[in-house]
Amino acid sequence: MMTKRKKQRDLQQTLFIILITMVLFLGTLNIVKGLGFFIPSQPSLLVVNNTINLEEMTLEQKIAQMVIVHGGLYNLQTWKKLQLGGVHLFAMQREELFRKTINEFQKEMMIPFFVSADFEGCLNPFSAFRPSIPVREITSVGDAFEKGKSEGSYLHTLGFSVNFAPVVDLNDQIWKCRSFPGNATTIGKLAEAYTLGLQREGIIATAKHYPGKTLVIRDPHKEVVAAVIEKSDLLPYEKLNKVVKGVMVSHLIVEGAIDSEGKPSVAAREIVGELKEKYPGLIFTDEIQMLGLRNFYPSLDEVYINVFKAGNDMILNFGEDPEEMHRMIQVVAEAVRRGEISKKQIDASVRKILMAKGFRVK
């Protein structure tokens, strides 16, 4: 009897050792996977005399350059390994944290990341230590220029290169402080002055959210987010076309003065293509993990393919899963290989991005 009990206890003890080893092993594997260890590295890029040869970049490297992610330090190694195009920083408690994060990301990168923020005025990621005047309080061209210049200088000092501002939606019904005051013409003028000030300090300004009506209160009972665009909504963009270096496209389904043919603007060639004909700068998507866009398509793969296919130059994806980010690049690369997305279009976008980063491109 005693021997049988002892045998059972020994069996339980052996099983315990096996299981705890398995848990530790699988736990380590999951951590390592979460850190992006299983994501293959891209070859090093050759930059000679500040010139990059597009032919020497892999398709995956090109697609990665078109992606902006959230710059959390927990994903530092993976984002660097993937050689992504940019990192976006949310609010932080201290100025040194911004400097430290940006330095860590830019260290040893052959092609530096774009570093972006939403420094609009009343949306202010630096509010803990640097107050900012909301744009609704800016009424003169001179003040708008000074605001742009001072904020541009501050962003440049910290190491930022892109600001997702100015907001040129005509009517901010939600926050009531993100848009300049006045009618379409005044908003256009003030936004132009702000843009000139910002860009004088070396920061890429991004007019948003094309084609307008993004900050309007929605009917919560309607699943599809749609709006009727008037000519006046497009006026600020016409004013800014020759000045601003970036435009951000929204997820709204639009009709009226411009028609997205029932698709979200950001995924509609009708919207992005038409914008590209008039405007030579960088075209950014709004964040693509927003439910409105994700729910429109049956799968995330279709979201990825359609936002690239529409012709956007830079895709904002704040998803935090490194494996999923790698998968997105693979999904888009496959779509390019089978001809669903044009390789020429990808090359044109990457050329624009690299030139905006200060490189010559062959």
Partner 1 sequence: MYEKRVLMVLNVSLAFMAFLLLLAFFDVTVPNFGEVVYRLDQHTPLCVLVLPEEHHKMSDLPRCCLEARRQVLCQWKVEETVFGETQWECRASGSEIGYLLNSKGYHYCTQQPYWP
Q: Which is nearer to partner 1, 11 or 110 (CB)?
A: 11
Contact predicate 271/258, CB 8 Å: yes
CB of 101 to partner 1, least distance (A): 13
- Assess 131 for contact with partner 1 (CB under 8 A): yes
Among 54, 319, 334, 361, binds partner 1 (CB under 8 A): 319
Q: 45 with 64: CB under 8 angstroms?
A: no
Report the alpha-carbon distance of residue 168 to residue 361 in Å, rounded.
32
Q: Contact with partner 1 (CB under 8 A): which of 227, 240, 271, 290? A: 290
Of the candidate residues 176, 231, 278, 362, the single one contacting partner 1 (CB under 8 A): 176
CA pair distance 317, 285, nearest whole angstrom: 9
- B/e letters for 295-325, b = 16+ CB within 10 Å, e = fewer, are ebbeebbebbbbbbbbbbbbbbbeeeebeeb
Site for partner 1 in 16-35 (CB under 8 A): 16, 19-20, 22-23, 26-27, 29-30, 33
Which of these, 293, 291, 292, 254, lies nearest to 275 by C-alpha position? 254
Pick the closer one to partner 1 by CB: 90 or 362. 90
Interface with partner 1 in residues 205-264 (CB under 8 A): 217-220, 225
For the bound state, the minimum distance from the C-beta of residue 160 to partner 1, rounded and expressed in Å, comes to 15
Half-sphere exposure of 56 (CA within 13 A, CB side): 11
Does position 298 bind partner 1 by CB under 8 A? Answer: no
Helical H runs in 177-268? 184-200, 231-240
Q: Does 129 engage in binding with partner 1 (CB under 8 A)?
A: yes
DSSP-assigned letter for residue 313: S
Among 43, 46, 73, 90, which residue sits at the site for partner 1 (rule: CB under 8 A)? Answer: 90
Which lies closer to partner 1 via its Cβ, residue 72 or residue 112? 72
343 binds partner 1 (CB under 8 A): no
φ, ψ of residue 103 in degrees (nearest 5): -60, -45
Residue 104 CA to residue 99 CA, distance in Å, equals 9
H/E segment holding residue 181 = none
- 74 lines the binding site for partner 1 (CB under 8 A): yes
The residue length of the chain stands at 362
- Name the residues that contact partner 1, by CB under 8 A: 5, 8-9, 12-13, 15-16, 19-20, 22-23, 26-27, 29-30, 33, 70, 72, 74, 90-93, 118, 122-125, 127-129, 131, 134, 174-177, 217-220, 225, 287, 289-292, 318-321, 323-324
